[in-house]
Amino acid sequence: MASKADSAARAKAIKDRALPTKESGLFRQLLQHYEAKQHKQGIKAADQILKKFPNHGETLAIKALVIHSSLPHNHPTATSQPKGEEANRLIDTALRKDPYSHITHHVHSIILRADKDFAGAADALRKAREIDPENIPLIRDSISLYTQLKHYDEAQQARIKYHTLRPNMKANWVTVAIGYELCGEPQNALNVYDQLGKALKDTGYDSVEKAELCIHTIRLMVEVGRYPDALELLRKSVDDKTLPPICDVMTLEATIYEKLGQKEKAEEQYRKLIELNPDNLSYYGDLMFLKGIDFDSTISEDLLPKTLTIMDGFAESYPRASAPKRLILDIVNGDEFRSRVKAYMQKAFEKGVPSLFSDLKELCRAEEKQKIIQEAAEEFREHYEAKDESEPYSEALLWTYYFIASSISHRTCPQKDYARALELLDIAGKRHPTVPEVLFARGHVLKRAGDLEGAARALEQARLLDKSDRFLNGKAGKYWLRAGQIEKAGQVFGLFTKKDAPTPGADLKDMQCSWYLIEEGDAYRRAGNLPLAVKRYEQVIAIYQELEDDEYDFHTYSLRKLTLDAYQQMMKFDRELRSDRWFTRAAASACEVYALIHDDPSLREIRLSPEEEAERKKAAKKAQKAGSKAKKAAASAPTDPKKEKEEPSLPDSDPAGADYLKEVNPLDAMERLVQAMRRTPTLESWLVEFELAMRKKQFMRMRLAMSHAHDLAPDHPKVHEKCIALAIFCRSEAGVKALAEGQKEINEVALAEIEKFIPQDASALRTNSDYLQQHQDAGHIFAAARSLHLILSNQLGEGQSELSGDDKRQVEETLMQIVSPDVQPDLAVYKQALAFYVSPLKSSDEARSAFLSAVRKNLPLGFDFKELSEIASRREAWAKEDDSVATNGDSKK
């Protein structure tokens, strides 16, 4: 209940709010100016009122709104920044002067919303609605805000309230119906749509809107199992031409018939769909499923002939469609596979299809098919080599070489042969020196063989063969990043980015190019520049926030447009957004760095070599110049109102990310990312959560995270490593203490669960050596070596900081298993293991050299692992080569 003082204050505020005639006229004008976006006039009117009534809260609020709405979105500029601050000051004052007005709170909400603080905006709106519960604009705004925040129940209350106040507006019906869908009550939603459908004639919807609404209603009926109703509505709407023959409608019809058991009718629909789009894979799968044939599992011998007849029929009817021919390759085996894949390959070789290998690569997962494809390719090679003289076959031979080179260097190939791949590409390159694909493939092979710099050079050469192609440009830039040449990469990317962007990277960031930001972040991280690495990762994370924020406008827009299926797709997209591959990569990488600087705060600052320091100074100067240019431009801009729009945004005040990393609280930062990742949990998110919980000493959370991770992938190297870490923690002093602090029952559950990871009677050492014995690939062996190191370090007595020679030797022996000849080489693991020898293992140079020379033996082409002198002399040779090409080129002119 409001106190006496409070109600007195309220009464006074209400009294103060009333303005004399002149000023209240000005106030109305002020509102009109705001609506009409006449910012200058608006401010003038506000100032006139404020001159007499400086404490008038609502005027202060609207003035804040007028100023705020005139500012450019998201990009503060030299002139807009102080204005933004002024608007914030004004709204704060307004709220202080008149906290009893729904207008001041509503304005506050609008400003917060424009700044993308949706939660704050919802709070402000809640206050406004307490004052004026029946106010329609307030209700409308709150629906979108609650929906954006995924508070669907609250949103639904507002939707129903809105509907009660304005029962005749059809648009509100849709709002209520969608609200039910979001709350998981499709039946209620359907009731509304049913009514709306009956009223369709007098809704004033156009034909497209009617079709959208109708399709969505039918889809919902199917979802809840009302098939006969769905069919009736669909048939009726097709007949009266509400629904056109587009794929959405036809797929729905097929599904309904299928559900109703009317297989022939369903088949007829799928055949129509295939006729419309014979390249859609799912139509074939769905059609065959009707006939009891499941493309997702092995097809039995007796069903095979029937399957082939049908699919061959399609292949014949739609000769230009590749889908039926390609699908057959998935289902046949043995000789049938051989003859069909050969025909498929021959056509591709002779037409010149570079993507043939990506097309067939999935098949190579099956050993038998891999072998057949390999053999077939060699046969074609011999065949075309014999005919080499005539033109068409010379092309076919080129693509055959290209195919073989790609396949014998690929992950799926059991006997990789990088040298031969390069040899074939060399021959192809000599005969076809202008085809970029040859060099492109060369780059791929070199990368896999452990020569990133050679790979980048090959891609650079490919790029130069077709400078107008952005694809080659982007791939070349990416390879330069992989090779650690960040500046060179920037120059290459810059050939296609906007010329007026401060840097190529800034344009790519503005265009939300996540893969680039992650690659550059990784490159910085490898170079030891953690501040910039984190900066790039966080930029990706910010992009995903932008994507989520972008959804806001569509909560109203789609309902107006009645694109309800699309709207539901957007909500699904939102639910899955934080498990997107690039987000996960960026968040996990950022967390790794945060963990590093938490464990060793000295890493917050970059340790630069003198050359790097010079480089950094140069870059800082450049950034400063760009900054003062922006400020200068800003200073001259405001005189011309048209130009105001083009005012450059303020330069980044921390372009190198150094200030941020110096000040950030790493565990808070990790927590923020873990919370985001958790919205759609994945193996990666549980692993990151474990790392965080371990550093926060939250035992129960560690256990839970590992329990989930273990369920998802018990054998994963990281899962193994962390399970060992967990077991050690539980049995350590700190762990025992943490356990003792918990309740007894929880402890029992906890211990039982940990036994799932490590049986009580087995020591961590035993578990680890069992794991090592069961797994024979580089990643797993490395995980066992690291775990061994952890276990042994944990047994160190007081005052000991380093493992004994014997213990070290044990770890080193395990590490050496990584490079044994019967284990597939793994470049990433090799690099990590080499670093591991230095830190934390602190091995002797000798031990590390033994590993390195084994690596060199395994990867004879692996320049990444060569002596610096060798790398340098190759660079020199390249420089000479480039010079001579350049001078030759000049003399030709």
Partner 1 sequence: MDIRQATVSDLLGMQKTNLFNLPENYTFKYYLYHAMTWPELSYVACNPKGEVVGYILAKMDEENTEIPSGHVTSISVLRSYRRLGLAAKLMRQSQHAMNHLYKAHHITLHVRESNKPAISLYRDNLGFEQTGVEKGYYADGESAYQMTYKFNKD
Q: What residues make contact with partner 1 under the rule CB under 8 A? A: 207-208, 211, 244-248, 276-277, 279-282, 320, 322-323, 351-355, 358-359, 361-362, 437, 468-472, 474, 496-499, 508, 510-515, 546-547, 550-551, 554, 557-558, 561, 563, 565-567, 569-570, 572-573, 576, 580, 582
Closest contact distance (angstroms) between CB of 507 and partner 1 is 8
3-state DSSP assignment of residue 649: strand
Q: Which is nearer to partner 1, 65 or 508 (CB)?
A: 508
Neighbours of 820 (CB within 10 A): 12
Neighbours of 164 (CB within 10 A): 11
With CA atoms as reference, report the closest residue to 372 among 329, 406, 315.
Answer: 329
Q: Which is nearer to partner 1, 98 or 519 (CB)?
A: 519
Neighbours of 784 (CB within 10 A): 28
**What six digits make up the tokens of 817?**
């298993």
Closest contact distance (angstroms) between CB of 282 and partner 1 is 7
Closest contact distance (angstroms) between CB of 466 and partner 1 is 9
Q: Which is nearer to partner 1, 59 or 370 (CB)?
A: 370
Closest contact distance (angstroms) between CB of 353 and partner 1 is 6
Closest contact distance (angstroms) between CB of 575 and partner 1 is 10
Closest contact distance (angstroms) between CB of 396 and partner 1 is 14
Q: Which is nearer to partner 1, 93 or 497 (CB)?
A: 497
Q: For residue 871, which phi and psi values (nearest 5 degrees)?
A: -65, -45
- Is 163 in contact with 175 (CB distance < 8 Å)? yes
Q: Which is nearer to partner 1, 573 or 878 (CB)?
A: 573
Q: Which is nearer to partner 1, 255 or 497 (CB)?
A: 497
- Is 176 in contact with 159 (CB distance < 8 Å)? yes
With CA atoms as reference, report the closest residue to 315 among 357, 338, 344, 356.
Answer: 344
- Is 824 in contact with 762 (CB distance < 8 Å)? no
Q: How far apart are the first and last CA of the chain?
A: 91
Distance CA 888, CA 893 (A): 9
Q: Which is nearer to partner 1, 496 or 660 (CB)?
A: 496
Closest contact distance (angstroms) between CB of 550 and partner 1 is 4
Q: At what angle do helices 564-576 and 170-182 cross, to 10 degrees?
A: 30
Q: Which is nearer to partner 1, 22 or 351 (CB)?
A: 351
Distance CA 21, CA 146 (A): 38
Q: Which is nearer to partner 1, 151 or 470 (CB)?
A: 470
Q: Which is nearer to partner 1, 79 or 512 (CB)?
A: 512
In this structure, which amino acid lies at residue 15?
K
- Is 407 in contact with 369 (CB distance < 8 Å)? no
Long-range contacts: 144-148, Cβ < 8 Å, 24+? 144/552, 144/555, 144/556, 145/109, 145/113, 145/118, 145/121, 146/122, 147/182, 147/555, 148/118, 148/551, 148/552, 148/555
Closest contact distance (angstroms) between CB of 246 and partner 1 is 5
Q: For residue 75, which phi and psi values (nearest 5 degrees)?
A: -115, 95
CA angle 713, 363, 454 (to 5 degrees): 85
Closest contact distance (angstroms) between CB of 109 and partner 1 is 22
Q: How many residues does the chain have?
A: 893
3-state DSSP assignment of residue 77: strand
Q: Which is nearer to partner 1, 236 or 498 (CB)?
A: 498
- C-alpha distance from residue 466 to each of 436, 469, 479 (Å): 7, 6, 17
Closest contact distance (angstroms) between CB of 553 and partner 1 is 8
Q: Which is nearer to partner 1, 270 or 729 (CB)?
A: 270
CA 851 to chain centre: 36
Neighbours of 165 (CB within 10 A): 13
Q: Which is nearer to partner 1, 212 or 721 (CB)?
A: 212
Closest contact distance (angstroms) between CB of 500 and partner 1 is 9
Closest contact distance (angstroms) between CB of 551 and partner 1 is 7
Q: For residue 649, which phi and psi values (nearest 5 degrees)?
A: -70, 155
Closest contact distance (angstroms) between CB of 217 and partner 1 is 16
